[in-house]
Amino acid sequence: METLPGGTQPQTIGILGAGKVGTGVARQALLAGYRVLIAASGDPANIGLIIQVMAPGAEAVTAERVMAEADLVVLSVPLHKFRTLDPAGLAGKHVVDTMNYWQDTNGEMPELADAPSSSEMVLAHIPGARLAKSLNHIGYHELELDARPAGAADRRALAVSTDDDATGALVREFVERLGFDAVDAGPLTNGTAFEPGTPIFTGWYDRAGVESELTAHLAASGKLEPAH
């Protein structure tokens, strides 16, 4: 994993989005010992009570503070709101995309037709970010129900795809600390293997199961870049 100045591991998680996914990730991150900042659009005071109730211990802040202070930024807004993300503020930041496309929620998104995957569409808007895809293929309630200690026989596995080695290491460590086995899924484009409608998205898998489904997806799609 990439270390921060002084040799310390990243300890501050910043979450953009104060909905069920964002607060669910926040609760697990707090249990794992992280400092957690959460931002939504507008004044942080507007979400202060929600955060106190849904993720006690997290701090409601501005998006600017999330981007300035977080070692890892979690994107958990509705996917169509990717257009509101600040490219300059996220430049150089480690970022994990937890978002999915749902037509009823997101409406028509012509940008998807021009991108190999939804995460690559997001990256095209924030090209300076060091982006990974993960945590999109588990329900917010399952983050708490399915978390297990390392080495547990019934530990669930989650995939992580990214083009940035340091970000991949950081996000995999984050997933592990949340209570799941992290599987290196290779480059960001391989995130299509765990988008909505895929077996990984709809099912429960251990490490071997995720790896098997990744291999099957890549073979079926003819992708030339395998998972690591």
In angstroms, rounded to a whole number, what is the distance separating the alpha carbons of residues 223 and 215? 10
Instruction: Report whether pLDDT(2) > 50.
Output: no
Q: Which residue has the tokens 């997290």?
A: 58
Domain range 12-221, its CATH number among 3.30.565.10, 3.40.50.720, 3.40.50.1970, 3.20.20.150: 3.40.50.720
> How many whole angstroms separate alpha carbon 17 and alpha carbon 93?
17
Q: In residues, how long is the chain? A: 228
How many Å apart are CA 156 and CA 139, to the nearest integer? Answer: 13
Nearest Cα to 166, choosing from 40, 10, 6?
10
Question: What span, in angstroms and rounded, lies between the C-alpha atoms of 15 and 76?
Answer: 7
State the pLDDT confidence band at 46, using cuts at 50, 70 and 90: very high
| pLDDT band, very low/low/confident/very high, at 228 (cuts 50, 70, 90) | low
Q: What are the domain boundaries of the chain?
A: 12-221
Other CB atoms closer than 10 Å to residue 144's CB: what's the count? 14
- Average pLDDT value over all residues in the chain: 93
The residue type at 89? G
Angstrom distance (rounded) from CA 156 to CA 194: 14
Query: pLDDT band for position 59 (50/70/90)?
Result: very high
pLDDT > 70 in the chain, percent: 93
| Global confidence as pTM | 0.92
- Token digits of residue 39: 């931002």
Query: In terms of Cα–Cα distance, which of 70, 131, 136, 130 is closest to 99?
Result: 136
pLDDT at 134 over 50: yes
Structure-token pair, residue 121:
């569409």
Does the pLDDT of residue 9 top 80, yes or no? no
Segment 149-171, tens digit of pLDDT: 999 999 999 999 999 999 999 99
Partnered with residue 85 across adjacent β-strands are none
